[in-house]
A = this chain, B = another copy of it.
Amino acid sequence: MDTIIRVDTRTRQIHTLTATEDEMRWGGRSLIAHVLLKEVPPNCEATGRYNKLIFASGLLADTNVTTTGQMSVGGKSPLTGGVKESNVGGWVGRKIAKLGIRALIIEDTPDTARTDVLVVRASGYELVSMPELKGLLVSDTITSLRQHYGKSVGILCIGPSGEMMMYGSGIATPDNNDVQIRYAARGGLGALMGSKGIKAIVVDDAGSGYAMQAYDKALLTETSKWMAEALLADPKTENRNLYGTPAILALANSSGLLPTRNFSSGSFEKADDIAGERVREEILSRGGEGRSSQACVAGCVIKCSNIFPDKSGKKLVASIQYENISLLGSNCGIGSLDDIAEMNHLCNEVGVDAIETGAAIGVGMEAGIIQFGDAEGAKNLIRQIGQGTYLGRILGNGAQITGRLLGIRRVPVIKGQAIPGYDPRGVKGNGVTYVTSPMGADHTAGNAFETLKTLDPLKADGQVDSSRKLQIRAALLDTLGVCLFVRPPFLKRPEMFGKLLEGRYGWKMGIPEIIALAWDTIATEREFNRQAGVSEEFFPMPEFMRDEPLPPFNAVFDVPMKDMRAMWDGFDPASLTTL
């Protein structure tokens, strides 16, 4: 995992470089932050020549540590104008790592529109023109690539929305049998890929001579085993395994933070119909292709994914997840899992982030283009995104644009990006994360949902300190390339992160060094954003969050801006002693 592949989409030249000493110390989100700050002009246009699209393996990506198939995708975000890292499961991340590739960096733009496929093999790399893929839905793209490149290759691709450079577009990747479609969904990275004229990346790791060289194999194996066992012993893991991420929906609803009808309420009268328990019940009773307890990456012990079937047992979507249920479901007033699953599937097909799209449709419903609860209307809107109708282009470019063009002011976005399934009035720590994270409104950057029982979510007190700590932890996990859901065992034994890195690289890392590693990622991202002019001043909390009390608990977001602005001022990573 010591090569960096650089693809120049203008000259069509591809260069293989050995990672520098610096680059060897960066992984995943950290590598993206450093490459952006070093190589990309912060003021550049996100879909222009000077931005770079970066696929980066995490520091542990070539090990067998559980969940390490997660891969980071990043660049200057079309949506936020700042740094963006979005990580994704699927089978392709591990294949890239197995080819010894630390990062794949896509540079420049072609001088005329193109539909290229980047083929990455052990024997070499090439850009192949495949105009026949132009405009294809994601499933058709995958089918076509399978015909050309076989069943065992890893795939990353964009849908028609990414080709049209819609800012709500993500980058899709299937699992090994094309059942699950996973997304590096957020920040508009699909538009960035589209701007490069790259419709897909095919990764074939057959014949790779690469073998991971652990510094201390025994330590790595031992720590990895501890981690898997500790995860399996954790009750949260069991809950996630049985119910998937929708496990939290009932609690989100009773806590009054579930986005409902364009963030006008925090609880939904049909929550029971779309909760995790119901997801599992339908999967079990419908049978057929339906499955719970699926892994999104090879070797994951948590297995929180699922295959959601229709009444006849045929797959509707895989996997159905909390964020998508909340944004496409309750946020649109839609209380049927079948409808939500089909909407989610359509998002996956046209190539858009289901969070951004659910938020945009919610705004559209508030504007009256269709009514809240109109599932068929909503499906039609998502299809229009893929068709590139004018309304489709509006919605496909996200919630902020939709609000602006339809004259709506209750628009749930921060840094240009839609707020995910946690209303910041119902869990104020997430509001702090949305405003202060370099990523904008992104729950994975520091999710305070886990603090619901330890810190009053409706009170402003303590939320800034809590978010800071959560953000540090998220940055660490994203840099290692492990799933956010490995948190529980490490909360008790954070030093074990150090053991993993020592086993793999020989680095001696105590808790201070681990925290410094995470902070370095955030500090680098913040410096990029500072130079890009992406500020809390320009992108504050939307006014309605401070003005409109959120039923049923009628809280408003009241964390003072000055406290959030000062969050990282003079931050000393040594001041944190735990994760």
Contact = CB atoms under 8 A, between A and B. Distances in A.
A543 B397 contact: no
A236 interface: no
A370 interface: no
Nearest to A48: B543
Given A167-B404, A390-B390, A538-B538, A45 B533 contact: no
A391 interface: yes
Contact of A537 (B43, B50, B401, B539): B43
A542 interface: yes
28 contacts: A43-B537, A44-B543, A45-B409, A45-B543, A47-B409, A49-B543, A49-B547, A50-B543, A81-B538, A164-B407, A165-B407, A167-B404, A389-B390, A390-B391, A390-B405, A393-B394, A394-B394, A394-B405, A401-B401, A401-B404, A531-B537, A532-B537, A532-B538, A533-B533, A533-B537, A533-B538, A533-B539, A538-B538
A534 interface: yes
A42 interface: yes
Interface string A540-570: 1011000100000000000001000000000
Interface in A165-201: 165-167
Nearest to A534: B538
Interface string A514-544: 0000000000000000011111111110110
Contacts of A394: 390, 393-394, 405
Contacts of A391: 390
A534 to B, nearest CB: 7
A406 interface: yes
Interface string A396-436: 01000100111101000000000000000000000000000
Contacts of A547: 49
The copy count of this chain in the complex is 2
B397 A405 contact: yes
Given A43-B540, A533-B539, A393 B405 contact: yes
Contacts of A532: 537-538
A-B pairs, 3 with minimum CB distance = A533-B538, A533-B537, A390-B390
Nearest to A163: B407
A564 to B, nearest CB: 12
A389 B391 CA distance: 9
Contacts of A389: 390
A404 B166 CA distance: 8
Contact of A409 (B48, B81, B390): B48
Contacts of A533: 533, 535-539
Contacts of A542: 45
A405 B166 CA distance: 7
A537 B42 contact: yes
A537 B389 CA distance: 33
Contacts of A539: 533
A407 B81 CA distance: 16
Contacts of A47: 409
Contacts of A407: 164-166
Interface in A76-127: 81
Taking each of A43, A47, A50, A389, which has the highest tally of chain B beta carbons within 10 Å of its own beta carbon?
A: A43
Nearest to A398: B404
Interface string A37-58: 0000011110111100000000
Nearest to A561: B43
A94 to B, nearest CB: 33
A523 B177 CA distance: 62
Nearest to A165: B407
A261 B478 CA distance: 46
A560 to B, nearest CB: 13
Contacts of A406: 393
A391 to B, nearest CB: 5
A67 to B, nearest CB: 36
Nearest to A195: B409
A545 B44 CA distance: 12
A81 B43 CA distance: 18
A208 B404 CA distance: 41
